[in-house]
Structure 1
Amino acid sequence: MISETKMKLNLIGIIASFLLISVISAHAENDEDVFSKAQHYTVQIRKAVTIPFGNDKKGTAFGAGFVVDTQRGWIMTNAHVVSRSPARLEVAFFGRKFVPAKKVYVDPFLDLAIISINEEMQKATAALPELECTNLPGVGRTVGTFGHPNGLKFTGTRGIISGHTAKYESEMLQTDAPINPGNSGGPLISLSSGRIVGINTSSMNDSQNSNFAVPMQYACRVLDLLREGKDPSPPDLPLAFFKAPNEQMQLRIARSLIDPAKFDIRAGDEIVGVPGVVESVENETQLIHALRGRLGNVALRIKREGQELVINGKLEPVKKVNDKTCIMFSGILLCETPSYMGRDDFNPGKIAVYFVEAGSLGDFNEIEKMDMLNSVNGKKIETLDAFYSVLKTSQEEKKPINFVFRDTGGKGAPSYFTYTERTLPVENLTWVSNEKNGG
């Protein structure tokens, strides 16, 4: 009797072990299949930036991307991978040479961009990957990253979805799957479904397990609008929101710089939804997602002084990244500041220094990035066109110009600004833009 019981237990153990081995083997085969497919739709992206706008850096860098439309030759990646500045771009598939690429769309809010390749390379692309456009992956979902970490090309790693956070600039997926330099722009893939759930974006410094990705739910909206020939730009929303305690989800306005004649949004209002689109929004990313492709006359559901009401107004799209135009002379790049900055009490000015070439005349005269243009030959300058006209005359007549710059180094008594005065000749004057300089 005892031996018979032992035999049954041994048999059950053998069956359980066999089933466990089968499950592990199935998972391993599935993971291998997922990464094998990713190897064919993932690309390496190489960029070179000579004149950086804003937070971009001069130089060459590498990242990743993945095919999202074979007919159009579209590849999705991060904005920081292809740069929001004029840049030379090249793309390479696994086992193939680099070929030229160009920007189709760069988002000013999400770290997201679409680039395109020529017809010859379109023929070389693999079948389209599946995108998870509907739902955010749950915490605990097993995922894999694919890209080129630290120059190790076409490499896969795995982990789980650790959470969702809107603590930083936009709502992100949090994962413990490693994301290193070279992974940015590559796919974050559900290893159970094989679908891409996010775009690998960044990692937290001094942390091995806190990495972030743009959710595909938000990226897909941009892609769909582009395919329909519509503008996917986010709304121009110069709103400052209160920082909620303990990451509490709410959109309560601390300061509105929107023209009240266009939209009567006030300090103290809480935005809770977009009628006819979504009942509730918990953060700025969700609000922008709900408004993409629906700008012009817009309705918002808000709470004001304890009452819930719907207000109507007009919202315009933010200026496109690819349309940004600046002026370069004597090694100094100057661009217009965002329009809403001129509406605030703390008005820095209309035109600012965005880049100074090392070793240039501007660098020699100690002009620094984010110096604000205060006056030119004693006069205020409000637009780049007017500024260019003055600079062109100076260059033609070979007469130096007196510039007054200011920055925010003041102590507040009597001014928050400090001022510098420089007299410079104008050399090598030119317009700089994504279209003209390789964007």
Structure 2
Amino acid sequence: MFKKAITLYLLALFAHSLSASESPQWKKTIEDLANSVVSIRVNAVRTFDTEGSKTTQATGFIVDAERGIILTNRHVVHPGPITAEAVFSNSEEIELKPIYRDPVHDFGFFRFNPNDLQFIKPRALKLNAKSAKVGDDIRVIGNDSGEHMSILSGTLARLDRSAPRYRRGGYNDFNTFYYQSSADTSGGSSGAPVVNIKGEVVALNAGGNTRSSSSFFLPLYKVTRALEAIQKGQPIARGTIQTTLSYQPYDQVRRLGLPESFEKAFRDKGNGNGLLTVERTVFEGPAYEKLRPGDIIISVKSAAQAIDYVSRYEVFEIFLDEHVGKTIELKVLRQGKAMTIELAVDDLHQITPDEFVQLAGGIFNDFSYQIARQTNLSAKGVYIASPGFMFGNAGIGRGVVIQGINESKVDNLADFVNALKPLKQNQYFKIKYVSIGSPNNQQIGNVKFISNLHHSQKCLRNDSLGIWECEPLEWNQSFESFPPTEVKFTNFSDKQTAKIARSLVMVNADLPYHIDGQNYDHYSGTGLVLDADNGLVLVDRNTVPIKLVDVTINVSGIAEIPAEVLFVHPVHSYALLKYDPMLLPGKPLRSAPLSSKELSAGDSAWLVGYQATDRIISERVKVSSVEPLELPLPNVPQFRDSNINSILINNPPSVASGVLIDKRGKVRSWWTNYAYSNSTSQTIDRGLPIKHIIDIRDQWAENQAVEVYSLEVELRPITIASARNFGLSDEWMEQLQDSNKKPQALRITRRVAGSEAFDKLKDGDLLLAIDNSPIRDFNELEDAIEKDRVKVSVWRDGKQQDFLVATKKLTETDTLNFYLWSGALIQKPHRAVAAQYGIEPKGVYISWYYFGSPANRYNLRPLMRITEFEGEKVTDLEQFIALSQKHSDKLYVRIRMLDLIGRESIITLKQDLRYWPTQKIFWDGKTWHNRLMGT
């Protein structure tokens, strides 16, 4: 009784939502159908063919209650791997398995287990493929953008509308009529039943035009045939001659040469107001160079069957479906002359991809007939559905068809895999490809093979199980040996450029994962050779922002050699790289001459740096001022330099970082780019003190390591006059003044969480001294804290207060291991989170998520910290992974989180270990690895 009462209550709410103007008969019809219409939630877990990875919602309805079959759109069932759930009118949720999607038309089927339903017993809706007439009153029962069920009314205005065209290179239906109505359906109504007043489904809602408030419905003639085959356990035959047809009215086909006698014969058949004509054929398809645009289809026959007057899409398509793999004769009129043409009928399923290769974060599938027909290409080659790390680095994006690799022709995925199998890590290979936007221009690309940072697999669709079955792909793990390259530098006419050019290189860095707040995939900048004998190069952190990068050094546009990231400065914009000097015979590079004399306002210098891979520029500049570097807080916590003076130049030339040199060619300052984002993404250029470069060079030469101590506070200089306003004593004002330095004091503006300074010092404190030595500027501070513990004297509450504070040794702040869990990149909170938001670097921080993943579906958002998993407190990464494995058998898990300002929230998430298995990415001291957990 209780269950029945709930159902009746929900149906009453549903009925209450109907328009008050609905007739009693329509109300009863809709109420009778409500239990059979479901809201569908879809995770498209991989970009594949025409569709991207995403989470979406739609509508479906039951067409076979006994077998648990739901009808919806093809673009909902998706051509690639998905996970899906149906929510019934009583809020019962049930898992769906995709079992069919038509290669051409916008319909597909899900299956569920009827025995899993506990509180509702829906019935199958009746399909009526033949009853629709212009002027019929109809209702569309769907869900309103995934939120609530909605009823939209309309009138069938046309039954012979052309299929809607959504976008080039994406999915588009063709070779079928569509119905058109004035009902303005919403995004979540895709797959909704279009019903008449008898409760019969007369069409399937497929799309709409918001500008004209019109909706497009797919007729059911192919749907009913496919459903019958599924119910009988038979394959669904789909034939094609790889030709797009167009339905043209009689006045148009007369212009194409239709004789009056043929028109009279067709009109006597009474089958519409036009004929089918050839719009285009697919390159190298069965009809290529046999049929021509403008041909008018008259009749079709085979050895066993003949149809004399063909003027309807459905008649022609069904004939092709019944003749897959056979030869047919097609009679056409071409410029008024009758012609009979023999054509082979292809299997549509064979030219519609059902497998993919996942490699280096990219997705690759056989090029489909669906896209080929739009691009004047044959249905051969391998399509880049998502370029991933490897192909993206080479500047090759989505929408590209690979036709060859090195000297091997690539017609399909098997060719693609076989051509890549012999390659070594870091080996370059050549690809021949065309873009679907420019199919007549074959291009050549050069790609660097890097497979070991991502999980690789090959997946095949299994519609009987409703899943994609995947097997790992193993690649050659040996590394390519780079041959030595002799480099001869250009003789620069500019004297200043010539003095430093052999100490400058171009550095390119590619990021395989978005961690530590990094949003971009590729960075480049100028590198400064510190030690040519040992191959040490300095770059800024806008070129190498983190340790996990693939780095190459380009020397004079002639040699490109690999480099290793030795050190990334945790506080300032410096990183240290190492290359093998043996790869550059003859020692073409030179160690840069560094001068410890810093630049001052009014000094002249030359700014030298790379603008492109092989173009160095030099321009004389004048230092306008030397000021504390002040950068705004970024929207996303990421590296942000502080506690350093910077050199400003009026209207500096644009370079990808570089150096400021004096007239003798000695480096007086490091010129760096800072990228930051608040409301928009911007960059600023500043010169940094040479002191830090010398320290890094000397420390590495002596210890093969660089030690960085930090008090873990952010400081801002203020004038002595301002310090007086804070109550600073006359004695301290006198001590902070020095005839050789700018009179100023340093005020604490921010502390880094997780440090002793965070607990003992306060924002607003005036820093007076370290170990009794007055601190007047940033250089004095950094020199004074190069030890484990210091006495910090500050001015607070009108008096001097002293604290023993442990400094922090920031030599191991790099993120050296993280996980891909449920489609989210999770890591230990990196230093920027602690520095910019005062959050102690503990627990699990979400740095990124991928579309189509559980993290995307269930709002496991970046910038959140996970604090609790299934009621247990989360302390660190390894413990979190152990908890997730402990509860892996649960349908949903509860996760408690905090955002960056401390607001708490809780979500439930369904793990998907099939398509989103847990992966660990880690540094073993020599190289990076990707390990699939549980294997």
TM-score by length of 2: 0.39
Q: Partner residue of 1:15?
A: none
2:310 aligns to what SS in structure 1?
coil
Deviation at 1:81, TM superposition (A): 1.3
Distance 1:403 1:33, change over 3 A: farther
- 1:135-162 CA deviation, whole Å, 9 max, x = no partner? 3x11110000001022332221211111
Deviation at 1:253, TM superposition (A): 3.4
Matched, 1:164 2:159: yes
Q: Report matched runs for 1:70-85 at 5 Å.
A: 70-85=65-80
The worse-fitting range, judged by mean Cα deviation, of 149-158 and 373-382 is 373-382
Q: Report matched runs for 1:369-388 at 5 Å.
A: 369-388=398-417
| Structure ID, larger Rg | 2
Matched, 1:270 2:296: yes
User: Counterparts of 1:405 and 1:224 in 2: how far apart (Å)?
Assistant: 44
Q: Partner residue of 2:894?
A: none
* Cα contact 1:106–1:321 (8 A) shared by 2: no
Matched, 1:232 2:248: no
Q: Partner residue of 1:126?
A: 122
Q: Partner residue of 1:281?
A: 310
* Cα contact 1:332–1:356 (8 A) shared by 2: yes
Q: Partner residue of 1:87?
A: 82
* Cα contact 1:74–1:115 (8 A) shared by 2: yes
Query: Which of these residues, 174, 186, 189, is aligned with residue 180 of structure 1?
Result: 186
1:36 aligns to what SS in structure 2?
helix
1:207 aligns to what SS in structure 2?
coil
- 1:368-422 CA deviation, whole Å, 9 max, x = no partner? 012222432343333322322343443xx5353413243348989xx63343322
User: Counterparts of 1:110 and 1:260 in 2: how far apart (Å)?
Assistant: 20
In the alignment, structure 1 segments of 5+ residues that lack a partner are 1-24
In the alignment, structure 2 segments of 5+ residues that lack a partner are 1-19, 164-173, 254-273, 462-467, 471-913, 916-935
* Cα contact 1:79–1:106 (8 A) shared by 2: yes
Question: Relative to total residues, which structure has the larger strand share, 1 or 2?
Answer: 2
Identity among equivalent positions (%) equals 17
Query: Which of these residues, 186, 191, 198, is aligned with residue 203 of structure 2?
Result: 198
Q: Partner residue of 2:425?
A: 398
* Cα contact 1:84–1:321 (8 A) shared by 2: no
User: Match for 1:271: what amino acid?
Assistant: I
Distance 1:133 1:295, change over 3 A: same
**Aligned residues: CA RMSD:** 3.6
1:43 aligns to what SS in structure 2?
strand
Matched, 1:213 2:209: no
Distance 1:120 1:369, change over 3 A: same
User: Match for 2:217: what amino acid?
Assistant: A
2:139 aligns to what SS in structure 1?
strand
Q: Partner residue of 1:222?
A: 226
Distance 1:186 1:384, change over 3 A: same
User: Counterparts of 2:352 and 2:89 in 1: how far apart (Å)?
Assistant: 29
Q: Partner residue of 2:278?
A: 253
User: Counterparts of 1:355 and 1:89 in 2: how far apart (Å)?
Assistant: 22
Question: Relative to total residues, which structure has the larger helix share, 1 or 2?
Answer: 1
Deviation at 1:187, TM superposition (A): 0.3
2:240 aligns to what SS in structure 1?
coil
User: Counterparts of 1:263 and 1:57 in 2: how far apart (Å)?
Assistant: 30
Distance 1:28 1:132, change over 3 A: same
Deviation at 1:88, TM superposition (A): 0.7
The worse-fitting range, judged by mean Cα deviation, of 422-431 and 176-185 is 422-431
* Cα contact 2:282–2:288 (8 A) shared by 1: no
Distance 1:144 1:254, change over 3 A: closer
Q: Partner residue of 1:421?
A: 446
User: Match for 2:124: what amino acid?
Assistant: L
2:233 aligns to what SS in structure 1?
coil
* Cα contact 1:263–1:312 (8 A) shared by 2: no
- 1:167-206 CA deviation, whole Å, 9 max, x = no partner? 2333111011221111110100012x22100111100142
* Cα contact 1:263–1:314 (8 A) shared by 2: no
User: Match for 1:237: what amino acid?
Assistant: I
2:115 aligns to what SS in structure 1?
helix
* Cα contact 2:409–2:415 (8 A) shared by 1: no
1:139 aligns to what SS in structure 2?
coil
Distance 1:411 1:278, change over 3 A: closer
User: Counterparts of 1:202 and 1:81 in 2: how far apart (Å)?
Assistant: 12
Deviation at 1:293, TM superposition (A): 4.3
Q: Partner residue of 2:332?
A: 303
User: Counterparts of 1:242 and 1:161 in 2: how far apart (Å)?
Assistant: 22
User: Counterparts of 2:78 and 2:365 in 1: how far apart (Å)?
Assistant: 16
2:105 aligns to what SS in structure 1?
coil
Query: Which of these residues, 349, 352, 355, is aligned with residue 319 of structure 1?
Result: 349
User: Match for 2:202: what amino acid?
Assistant: V
User: Counterparts of 1:422 and 1:46 in 2: how far apart (Å)?
Assistant: 38
Deviation at 1:244, TM superposition (A): 4.5
2:384 aligns to what SS in structure 1?
strand
Distance 1:105 1:260, change over 3 A: closer
Q: How many residues align?
A: 405
- 1:65-112 CA deviation, whole Å, 9 max, x = no partner? 111111211111001112111111111211133221111211011100
The worse-fitting range, judged by mean Cα deviation, of 281-290 and 365-374 is 281-290
The one of the two structures with greater contact order (alpha-carbon pairs below 8 A, sep at least 6) is 1
TM-score by length of 1: 0.79
* Cα contact 2:207–2:215 (8 A) shared by 1: yes
1:223 aligns to what SS in structure 2?
helix
Distance 1:252 1:105, change over 3 A: same
- 1:10-64 CA deviation, whole Å, 9 max, x = no partner? xxxxxxxxxxxxxxx9971111111112211111111101211122121210101
The worse-fitting range, judged by mean Cα deviation, of 368-377 and 301-310 is 301-310
The worse-fitting range, judged by mean Cα deviation, of 90-99 and 360-369 is 360-369
* Cα contact 2:237–2:324 (8 A) shared by 1: no
User: Counterparts of 2:63 and 2:95 in 1: how far apart (Å)?
Assistant: 18
User: Counterparts of 1:378 and 1:161 in 2: how far apart (Å)?
Assistant: 56
Q: Partner residue of 2:391?
A: 362
* Cα contact 1:302–1:308 (8 A) shared by 2: yes
Q: Partner residue of 1:352?
A: 383
Distance 1:38 1:178, change over 3 A: farther
User: Match for 1:195: what amino acid?
Assistant: E
User: Match for 1:200: what amino acid?
Assistant: N
User: Counterparts of 2:35 and 2:396 in 1: how far apart (Å)?
Assistant: 47
- 1:348-375 CA deviation, whole Å, 9 max, x = no partner? 9622212234xx3433432201222243
User: Counterparts of 1:95 and 1:106 in 2: how far apart (Å)?
Assistant: 27
* Cα contact 1:171–1:214 (8 A) shared by 2: yes
